[in-house]
Structure 1
């Protein structure tokens, strides 16, 4: 990879790279591409993707109501502005 390609990639990525750093970035990109090529050479046919390398189960708690819910009237009583059972908020987008 030469510095002209790095300049083009930087331009398309909207990244400002000083001229002195171009050779170093080119070398780093070469190593990244070599690693990607090495990983693509690994045979993965028939292997299912996994979310985690260990076969762990996430412990889940029961989804239970811990306390009684407030009524709509109780909730709306604390609203600075409400209309027809809905909270009124300032307009954000014109």
Structure 2
């Protein structure tokens, strides 16, 4: 899928970018190069290949560094609301901003 200079101009317009003609030509070459790489990658048969969660796992075994999902802190509502200018029944009171 090759882009044209009109495509690059349209993309720049949609992104609200001012792209001089010299830069538009360079951008066209870069974008078409990117799409060529994507087409090459899409042509590779990846059936049966397990996805990697990190590229390092292709080289050696990587252990997940996940912590246990456990409560480590408690919430002290009274301390958190101590600086509030107005409270009612444990809730912050704020001025009405919408009529």
Whole-Å Cα distance in 1 between the matches of residues 96 and 54 of structure 2?
43
Are 2:88 and 1:83 aligned? yes
Structure 2 residue aligned with 1:57: 64
Structure 2 unaligned residues grouped into runs of 5+: none
Aligned length: 91
Q: Does residue 18 in structure 1 map to residue 23 in structure 2?
A: no
Name the structure 2 match of 1:29.
31
Aligned equivalents of 2:7, 2:18: Cα separation in 1: 14
**Aligned structure 1 segments of 4 or more residues deviating by more than 6 angstroms:** none
TM-score w.r.t. length of structure 2: 0.67
- TM score, norm. by length of structure 1: 0.70
Unaligned runs of 5+ in 1: none
